Amino acid sequence: MPVFTYEAMDAKGKPTKGTLEVVNQGEALKRLKEMGFFPTKVVESAKGKDTNKKDGKDSKGAPVAGLPKPPGAKGKAKGGALQINIKIPGLGGGVNTKTLCTFTRQLATLVDAGLPLLRGLLVLQKQEKDPTLREILGKLALSIEGGSTFSEGLAQHPKVFNKLFVNMVKAGELGGVLEVTLTRLAEFAEKAQKIKGKVKAAMFYPVAVLTVAVGIVALLMIVVVPKFEEIFKDMLGPGQMPEFTMLVLSISNFIQHNFIATCGIVAGFVIAFKLFCKTKFGIRLMDRIYLMMPVFGPVISKVAISRFTRTLGTLVSSGVPILQSLNIVRETSSNVIIAEAVQSIHDSVKEGETIVGPLEACKVFPPMVVSMVDVGEQTGALPEMLMKVADNYEEEVDNAVSAMTSLLEPIMIVFLAVIVGSIVIAMFLPLIKLMDSLGGDGGGEK
């Protein structure tokens, strides 16, 4: 019989380790819960794997290639495999987020209607237009037919199904409420996509204005300013040009005669900035700056808080243990400052303390969030409180995006006016100087 090594937490949050001799990983999880433990890692030991292979089975109970199939084996495994330590990146891999949301919602509807999971996957595969997702659905169906669980099949495609998705499905399988979990996943993905769409729409205006500003400045510096330079040389003698005008003319000449070098300097600056932002110090610095920015900061902060509470509430309400849920929230967080705050919460809970202490100490979450989480812990309704906070902050994101858009419009107009106006003033300064000199000459003649 397979031997499983486990790491778990007791009711007081103290870590414990040990081994269990059970049929499969699902049985190991069930046994640990009966013992009052909260498992964080359950893997089959090498000894158990060797025993399985001798019996003609692999670690999942499926026949090993080259060995005779045990009599009466139907290729169907019970329970699910816990893959807690697999690092799974975010959504991507060629599958559009909206397409994935639609798939999750459709699968939840089919399973809730009583259709078997395998048949539901095959139905969705036939009607799926995205070639990448259609291929993955075919592989998921083959994986389930081979005896794997749905969560095990999802874990084989980490670029499309992130750790949040896999662990929630795993919890739904173990609790026998897969259709409920899929529905929650669909709602979570749809709301996340909605917020993302609003932020993208709000960013369209400043990006468009910046693009127009760069185009206008390039046109002025390459085409218009050099023509003024020729006029000024004829009208004013050498050394008579205003300093600000000379600065603008020097920049124009450099861009005009060193266009490739200018593009190289701009590209080098952008690449250097991106490389800096990929360093550990750069990521931390930029994430903190994002949270503190005057216009964008409130939006980014509210989005991060909404994502944190929605993700944690969804995981806990789906039956995922609190420590494992916090690990997933930390790994799926898009902001390092928020991730560090979640890590401090995880360490506190691991020591048997409450969530509220480190949540308040990190100075990232507003007092209202801390108070509602405190009430949720005391009343035993933490998932419900987290969901309410998420709903409230999603509404605040709408207001913050609207406020940001209203502020950005005048800011970008002033920015464009300052850039273009500076060039225009630089071109008019020699004319003003020339008029003053002509006025002075006229006065002398009188």
For the stretch 404-417, pLDDT in tens is 777 877 888 888 88
pLDDT at 54 over 70: no
CA of residue 332 relative to chain centroid, distance:
6
Q: At what angle do helices 382-445 and 243-257 cross, to 10 degrees?
A: 110
pTM of the shown model: 0.58
pLDDT tens string 160-217: 887 778 877 887 787 777 888 888 788 877 877 777 777 777 778 778 888 888 888 8
- Asked if 165 contacts 153 with a C-beta cutoff of 8 angstroms, the reply is no
Q: What pLDDT, on the 0 to 100 scale, is given for residue 271?
A: 93
Cβ-proximal residues to 263 (8 Å cutoff; 6+ apart), any chain: none
CB-based burial, 262-290: b 16+ in 10 Å, e otherwise: beeeeeeeeeeeeeeeeeeeeeeebbeeb
Q: What pLDDT, on the 0 to 100 scale, is given for residue 10?
A: 65
Q: What pLDDT, on the 0 to 100 scale, is given for residue 65?
A: 37
What is the token pair recorded at 157? Answer: 């495609």
Q: What pLDDT, on the 0 to 100 scale, is given for residue 90?
A: 37
Q: Which long-range contacts (CB under 8 A, 24 or more apart) does 103-110 make?
A: 103/128, 103/133, 103/137, 104/182, 104/185, 104/186, 104/189, 105/186, 105/190, 107/182, 108/179, 108/182, 108/183, 108/185, 108/186
- Tell me the CATH number for domain 191-446: 1.20.81.30
pLDDT tens string 255-313: 878 878 888 888 999 899 889 988 888 888 888 888 888 877 888 888 888 888 888 88
Angle, CA of 102, 103 and 105, to the nearest 5°: 65
DSSP H or E run through 39: strand 38-44
pLDDT at 440 over 80: no
In this structure, the strands spanning 15-21 and 38-44 are: unpaired
- Asked if 70 contacts 57 with a C-beta cutoff of 8 angstroms, the reply is yes
pLDDT tens string 213-234: 888 888 888 888 888 777 777 7
Max mean pLDDT among 78-92, 104-118, 164-178, 235-249 falls in 104-118
Segment 416-441 mean pLDDT:
79
pLDDT at 446 over 50: no
Task: Name the band, by pLDDT with cuts 50, 70 and 90, for residue 11.
Answer: low
In this structure, the strands spanning 3-9 and 15-21 are: antiparallel
What is the token pair recorded at 53? Answer: 């292979």
pLDDT tens string 351-394: 888 788 878 887 778 888 888 888 888 888 888 888 888 888 87
User: Which residue has better confidence, 56 or 138?
Assistant: 138
* Residue 95 DSSP symbol: -
- Asked if 304 contacts 255 with a C-beta cutoff of 8 angstroms, the reply is no
pLDDT at 421 over 80: yes
Quote the CA–CA distance of 14 and 351 in Å, as a whole number: 7
Beta strands in 205-244 (DSSP E): none
pLDDT tens string 175-185: 777 888 888 78
Cβ-proximal residues to 30 (8 Å cutoff; 6+ apart), any chain: 79, 174
Give the torsion sign (CA, 414, 416, 419, 422). Answer: negative
- The rounded mean pLDDT for the chain is 76
Q: What pLDDT, on the 0 to 100 scale, is given for residue 71?
A: 34
What is the token pair recorded at 80? Answer: 């699910």
Write down how long the chain is: 446
Quote the CA–CA distance of 32 and 26 in Å, as a whole number: 10
For 97-190, which CATH superfamily applies? Type II secretion system (T2SS), domain F (1.20.81.30)
Could you tell me what percent of the chain has a pLDDT over 70? 83
Helices H, strands E: what count in the chain?
Answer: 18, 3
Q: What pLDDT, on the 0 to 100 scale, is given for residue 39?
A: 67
